[in-house]
């Protein structure tokens, strides 16, 4: 049910860089310990790469060649809060010593996300490799059009991930990524303070008060870095996201509405009660995300540095 795209395989680097997965793990483990916010950042980095012109490391490119003065993909509004790109570069430099010219930045992003899930207590996902890197990034306009907005609802989310071949179960499972990490206040200000926005009314009032306390309505600019945790166990990959959403403590609109929509409510309840099934569906959803728009064979390149295109 989960065909591996042509050009990707589980033994892709067996001859050219057999120690790849060990190198990635060894590079990340110390960072995960010193900065536990790393895992959530790297998981979201993969989503935002794969969602914009495919899993091709386009999000790592610093400036756009075609329009050097305009913000490139990374500068898109919806990429606000993207962090830890430099870690992918650091891993890449190690690999350029160990196996020069072999490993794509796109594969490193997927491997780093896979490690992030595993180190946080989530499923250990084996991923097929062989992605290649794009020669250019998207414009910020294209990136903003490809990434979901922070107030997307259930139906739009289902169709967004259906484009990647995900079932409703898999879509609910991939949203379980919000078991990790944070949301900056600016992404929930409308939900909290727009009286016309009925979504707020379905929140647990104590949770709403907590969010409003963390994200006051008239936030001084100097404090617009404030954030809230996505779920109560923000560094642990578990099914508390679903339990929490069922208690009307979802942070984003989508987190709050998955348990309310007739198409997804039963699945949320199931994952809240059964983390094995959540992990299993998450695994197949993660793989489908990692297959999005991949460049393989003689498409794309292997960049020698992840943040710019020198080929």
| Active-site pick, 48, 184, 270, 299 | 48
277 marked as part of a ligand binding site: no
49 marked as part of a ligand binding site: yes
- Within residues 41-80, the interface with Ca ion by CB under 5 A covers 49, 52-53, 56, 58
Binding partner of residue 267 among Ca ion, ligand HEM, none, CB cut-off 5 to 8 Å per kind: none
Binding partner of residue 150 among ligand HEM, Ca ion, none, CB cut-off 5 to 8 Å per kind: ligand HEM
Q: Which of 41, 111, 164, 200 binds ligand HEM (CB under 6 A)?
A: 41
16 marked as part of a ligand binding site: no
The residue among 51 and 104 lying less far from ligand HEM, judged by its C-beta, is 51
178 marked as part of a ligand binding site: yes
Contact predicate 137/61, CB 8 Å: yes
All residues at 6 or more sequence positions from 73 whose CB lies less than 8 Å from its CB, including other chains: 52, 58, 59, 61, 64, 79, 137, 138, 139, 140, 142, 143
The residue among 58 and 244 lying less far from Ca ion, judged by its C-beta, is 58
Neighbouring C-beta atoms of residue 81, cutoff 10 Å: 16
231 marked as part of a ligand binding site: no
Reply yes or no on whether 48 is catalytic: yes
All residues at 6 or more sequence positions from 55 whose CB lies less than 8 Å from its CB, including other chains: 46, 49, 106, 109, 110, 131, 289, 290, 291, 292, 293, 294
Binding partner of residue 180 among Ca ion, ligand HEM, none, CB cut-off 5 to 8 Å per kind: ligand HEM
The residue among 23 and 120 lying less far from ligand HEM, judged by its C-beta, is 120
Interface residues toward ligand HEM, by CB under 6 A: 37, 40-41, 43-44, 47, 81, 83, 148, 150, 152, 157, 174, 177-178, 180-184, 187, 230, 252, 254, 289
Catalytic sites, residue numbers: 48
Binding site, by residue number, is 49, 52, 54, 56, 58, 148, 178-179, 238
Interface residues toward Ca ion, by CB under 5 A: 49, 52-53, 56, 58
């Amino acid at each position: 049910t989960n065909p591996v795209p042509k050009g990707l395989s589980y033994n892709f680097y067996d001859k050219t860089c057999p120690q790849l997965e060990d190198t990635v793990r060894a590079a990340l483990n110390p960072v995960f310990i010193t900065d536990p916010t790393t895992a959530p950042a790297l998981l979201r980095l993969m989503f935002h790469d794969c969602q914009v012109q495919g899993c091709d490391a386009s999000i790592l490119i610093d400036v756009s060649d075609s329009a050097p003065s305009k913000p490139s993909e990374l500068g898109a509004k919806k990429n606000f809060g993207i962090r830890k790109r430099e870690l992918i570069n650091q891993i890449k430099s190690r690999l350029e010593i160990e196996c020069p010219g072999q490993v794509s930045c796109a594969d490193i992003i997927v491997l780093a996300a896979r490690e992030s899930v595993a180190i946080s207590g989530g499923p250990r996902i084996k991923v097929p490799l062989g992605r290649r890197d794009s020669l250019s990034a998207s414009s910020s306009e294209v990136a903003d059009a490809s990434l979901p907005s922070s107030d997307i609802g259930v139906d739009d989310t289902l169709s967004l991930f259906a484009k990647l071949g995900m079932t409703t179960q898999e879509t609910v499972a991939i949203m379980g990524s919000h078991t990790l990490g944070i949301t900056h206040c600016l992404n929930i200000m409308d939900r909290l303070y727009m009286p016309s926005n009925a979504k707020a009314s379905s929140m647990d009032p104590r949770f709403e008060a907590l969010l409003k306390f963390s994200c006051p309505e008239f936030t001084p600019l100097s404090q617009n870095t404030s954030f809230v945790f996505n779920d109560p166990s923000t560094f642990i990959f578990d099914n508390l996201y679903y339990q929490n959403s069922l208690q009307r403590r979802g942070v984003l609109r989508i987190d709050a509405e998955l348990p309310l929509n007739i198409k997804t409510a039963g699945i949320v309840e199931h994952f809240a009660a059964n983390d094995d099934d959540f992990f299993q569906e998450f695994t197949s959803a993660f793989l489908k995300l990692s297959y999005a728009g991949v460049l393989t064979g003689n498409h794309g390149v292997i960049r020698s540095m992840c943040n710019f295109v020198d080929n």
